[in-house]
Amino acid sequence: MMKWIVLGLCISVLPAQAAQQYTESACILLKQQVNDYKRRLGANSFLYTKAKANFDTSCQNPIVAKPSGIVLLSNQQIQPQAVPIKFKSVPQQQMFLAHAQPISTQPNPFSQLFNMLIPMIVLLFFGLMALYYFKKKLPELKGRMGERHVKKGLIKYLDDTKYTIINDVTLPLEDGGTTQIDHLVVSNFGVFVIETKNMSGWIFGNKHQSKWTQTIHRSKYPFQNPLRQNYKHTKTLAYLLDMPHEQFHSVVIFTSKAELKTKMPNNVGYLKEMMVYINSFNQEVFDHKMKLRILKLLEVIKLDQSRKTNKQHIKYLVSKNNG
């Protein structure tokens, strides 16, 4: 009974052992592959370990190919037949992980520094562009904010049955340029032409000076006398509407951020003071019919409010200042 058990074990083990051995040519190729993996990937790599184990297991007793005893005599050249080589398959995911191992290279310090500086340079560029745009638009934005403040005050303090408010009026000039009026208040007591100044700091000036001074932290900035600036507005309106200049009243309103340090004329001051000044005119200079005619004429002669109109006005101002 024992001998049959031993014989059965031999029969089952021997074919399995024989099936694990490669031919000599396959072992040569496998050894080359082992050496190649060791050279390129290192002795600790997954592919080298698997190939080395495969070689050690299947190439202990390589199978020797037996020469064939049959010789074919023919004029045609005999094509050699390729001997199939069996390799132990490696899962695709493991192959990918093995090849995905990075090969250590010495990083270039200049390249690293350049890659770090690129985002900083881009951010700095856009930051400077935004700062330039903001500084360029700051006077216009401050002016708009001041005009909005005065507009609300006019609506609040003036009786809409007596006063008609028109904001942001751009008028054509004889020389082809334009002039821009912040607010017009049309009433039977005259037409009030309002210039708004949204400025901060100390303000020095009188009606006779061509330039007034704004002082902020010991720094002085001259600016055009707003009374002279508004005088041009009243003269333009009188010419376009064909009315006496005396029926137009100039008013200059500073916002509360400015501190008027010199005694100003009666028509220059803060919002509430100027509302009292406008309401102090109680003698009618034209009737209701004339008031309606003025409003209709203003609708005809004033330029449409648009970016194009604003750009043309700014271009005209720049050319006048440079001239």
In a domain, 178, yes or no: yes
Q: Could you tell me the two tokens for 45? A: 């790599």
In a domain, 249, yes or no: yes
Task: Give the pLDDT confidence score for residue 2 in this predicted structure.
Answer: 47
Task: Give the pLDDT confidence score for residue 310 in this predicted structure.
Answer: 52
Task: Give the pLDDT confidence score for residue 117 in this predicted structure.
Answer: 85
Q: Could you tell me the two tokens for 184? A: 């017009």
In a domain, 4, yes or no: no
Q: Is 100 helix (H, G, I), strand (E, B) or coil?
A: coil
Residues 208, 308 within the same domain: yes
Distances (CA, A) of 222 to 36, 126, 157, 213, 286: 83, 32, 32, 4, 39
Look at the chain and report how many structural domains it folds into: 2
Task: Give the pLDDT confidence score for residue 306 in this predicted structure.
Answer: 56
Residues 213, 310 within the same domain: yes
Q: Which of 11, 36, 59 is the last residue of a domain?
A: 59
| Residue-number span of the structural domain to which 296 is assigned | 139-322
Residues 190, 285 within the same domain: yes
Per the CB < 8 A criterion, the answer to whether 266 and 281 are in contact is no
Phi, psi of 125, rounded to the nearest 5 degrees = -60, -50
Task: Give the pLDDT confidence score for residue 145 in this predicted structure.
Answer: 85
Sign of the torsion angle spanned by Cα atoms 323, 138, 234, 202: negative
CA–CA separation, 297 and 243 (whole Å): 12
CATH of the domain at 238: 3.40.1350
CA–CA separation, 279 and 3 (whole Å): 133
Residues 174, 295 within the same domain: yes
In a domain, 1, yes or no: no
Task: Give the pLDDT confidence score for residue 322 in this predicted structure.
Answer: 52
Task: Give the pLDDT confidence score for residue 312 in this predicted structure.
Answer: 55
Task: Give the pLDDT confidence score for residue 127 in this predicted structure.
Answer: 86
One DSSP character per residue, 44-61 reads TSHHHHHHHHHHHHHSSS
CA–CA separation, 222 and 229 (whole Å): 14
pTM above 0.75, yes or no: no
In a domain, 287, yes or no: yes
Each residue's pLDDT, cut to its tens digit, for the chain (323 residues) gives 444 444 444 444 444 444 468 888 888 888 898 898 888 888 888 888 888 888 888 888 888 766 555 444 444 444 545 545 554 555 555 554 444 455 555 667 777 777 888 888 888 888 888 877 766 666 666 667 888 999 999 999 999 999 999 999 999 988 888 999 999 999 999 999 999 999 999 999 999 999 999 999 989 999 999 999 999 999 999 999 999 999 999 999 999 999 999 999 999 999 999 999 999 999 999 999 999 999 999 999 999 865 555 555 455 444 544 55
Task: Give the pLDDT confidence score for residue 129 in this predicted structure.
Answer: 83
Q: Which of 59, 83, 107 is the last residue of a domain?
A: 59
Per the CB < 8 A criterion, the answer to whether 38 and 24 are in contact is no
Residues 311, 187 within the same domain: yes
In a domain, 183, yes or no: yes
In a domain, 124, yes or no: no
Phi, psi of 170, rounded to the nearest 5 degrees = -110, 125
In a domain, 177, yes or no: yes
Residues 146, 285 within the same domain: yes
